[in-house]
Amino acid sequence: MAIRVQREDFDVGAEITALTEGNPSIGGVTSFVGLVRDMADGERTSAMTLEHYPGMTEKMLAEIDAEAHDRWPLEASLIIHRYGRLEAGDRIVLVIAASPHRDAAFEACRFLIDWLKTKAPFWKLEEADDGATRWVEAKETDDAAAARWETNTGTRKAG
């Protein structure tokens, strides 16, 4: 399990290889990559700046990662979240979950990104083509996506 908060881009293939290499008990790996969209709420955006709370960000990501390991039988996991100015098409976030079986990998990956969106202290400032900026508002759909993991507690604790 690992977390990284960084300004730099990441290489998805290289990260998956590094995470799984030398562990033949891993039978399935799932990953989620979040990208900067060029449209948001019908407005054209060319870039965004991600602000975060250094210290608390790392702490919350580590807690979310630990929670995933508590709920599912994971062999390895990784969360990378970027900050700073990013342009449309740039990668923002990477989540990887590796497990002996695919179900746990799929579920844990979804859990990690759903919880991260509502519990990790990041804020997005969008830039329109004309240079105007606006803070992205939190979405109720993100809260709902996170909330369903309050009742779905994974496979390790089940039964």
Partner 1 sequence: MKILYFAWLRQRTGIGEEDVSPPESVRDVASLVDWLKQRNPAFAEALADTSTLRVAVNQEFASFDTALNGTEEVALFPPMTGG
Contacts to partner 1 by CB under 8 A: 34, 50-53, 55-56, 59, 81, 92-93, 113, 116-125, 135-138, 142
* Residue 59 or 148 having the CB closest to partner 1: 59
* Residue 12 or 155 having the CB closest to partner 1: 12
Q: How far is the CB of 38 from partner 1 (least distance, A)?
A: 17
* Residue 83 or 106 having the CB closest to partner 1: 83
Q: How far is the CB of 22 from partner 1 (least distance, A)?
A: 30
Residue 135's Cβ-count burial label (10 Å; 0-12, 13-18, 19+) is exposed
Interstrand relation of 76-82 and 91-99 (parallel, antiparallel or unpaired): antiparallel
Q: How far is the CB of 135 from partner 1 (least distance, A)?
A: 5
Closest CA to 104 of 27, 33, 32: 27
* Residue 141 or 158 having the CB closest to partner 1: 141
Q: How far is the CB of 125 from partner 1 (least distance, A)?
A: 7
The Cα–Cα gap between 128 and 47 comes to 7
